[in-house]
């Protein structure tokens, strides 16, 4: 069993949730909904542009350019208590990646790493590009290192199905060994939704 510290380190190699309380009325209205249609079903995310504009705009840039289409959820990290994360992003072609973005810490956004939160995967703060993860449990230790920018509003059952999908016992390196989905769960289409 991996400790939460080892789990946090494993993410460096590379996302019905509790909504975050908005800091201001205008920020509360600056939510952008997106759908991730996958081979396991649809996940709808509410991205919080009001509190995490840099991270949200980066994610929307990938969606608007169709760069997540045909990509996948490729990793399932499971805690013994049923929590953990599922991770997705761009793995087929590095030319689809945009430059890394500035880190928006939880201390600035107020968006905490709780069940259903979507957050950016990164080697270290300021290196996030396209990979993201969705939490299946509260992981407060992630608040110090990762940029959360929204939460699941529909399809948490799909996230749970991805988490329990088969993994390869041999794929993955280091603490990620045994966490790679086999087969991956395809993202057939990622798109904005009308709010």
3-class secondary structure per residue, 105-168: CHHHHCCCCCCCEEEECCCCCCCCCCCEEEECCCCHHHHHCCCEEEEEEECHHHHHHHHCCCEC
pLDDT at 195: 74
Question: Cα–Cα distances in Å, from 116 out to 123, 172, 178, 193?
Answer: 22, 24, 23, 19
pLDDT per position as a tens digit, 56-114:
999 999 999 999 999 999 999 999 888 999 999 999 999 999 999 999 999 999 999 99
Higher-confidence residue of 63 and 10: namely 63
Q: What percent of the chain has pLDDT over 70?
A: 85
**Average pLDDT of the residues of the chain:** 88
130/57 Cα distance (integer angstroms): 11
Does the pLDDT at position 23 exceed 60?
A: no
99/89 Cα distance (integer angstroms): 14
Residue linked to tokens 């590379």: 14
pTM for the predicted model, two decimal places: 0.86
Does the pLDDT at position 28 exceed 60?
A: no
Q: What percent of the chain has pLDDT over 90?
A: 81
CB environment 64-89: b (16+ within 10 A), e (fewer): eeebbeebbbbbbbbeeeebbbbbbb
Does the pLDDT at position 53 exceed 70?
A: yes
Two tokens at 91?
């793995």
pLDDT at 108: 97
pLDDT at 24: 43
């Amino acid at each position: 069993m991996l400790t939460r510290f080892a789990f946090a380190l494993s993410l460096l190699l590379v996302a019905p949730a509790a909504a975050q309380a908005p800091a201001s009325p205008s920020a509360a209205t600056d939510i952008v909904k997106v759908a991730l249609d996958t081979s396991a079903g649809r996940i709808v995310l509410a991205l919080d542009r009001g509190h995490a504009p840099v991270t949200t705009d980066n994610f929307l840039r990938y969606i608007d350019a169709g760069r997540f289409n045909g990509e996948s959820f490729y990793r399932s990290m499971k805690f013994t208590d049923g929590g953990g994360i599922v991770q997705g992003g761009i793995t087929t072609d590095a030319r689809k990646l945009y430059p890394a973005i500035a880190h928006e810490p939880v201390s600035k956004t107020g968006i905490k790493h709780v069940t259903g939160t979507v957050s950016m995967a990164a080697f270290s703060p300021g290196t996030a590009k396209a990979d993201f993860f969705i939490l299946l449990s509260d992981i407060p230790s992630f608040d110090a290192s990762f940029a959360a920018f929204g939460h699941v509003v529909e399809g948490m059952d799909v996230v749970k199905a991805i988490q329990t999908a088969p993994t390869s016992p041999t794929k993955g390196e280091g603490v990620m060994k045994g966490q790679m989905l086999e087969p991956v769960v395809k993202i057939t289409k990622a798109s904005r939704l009308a709010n």
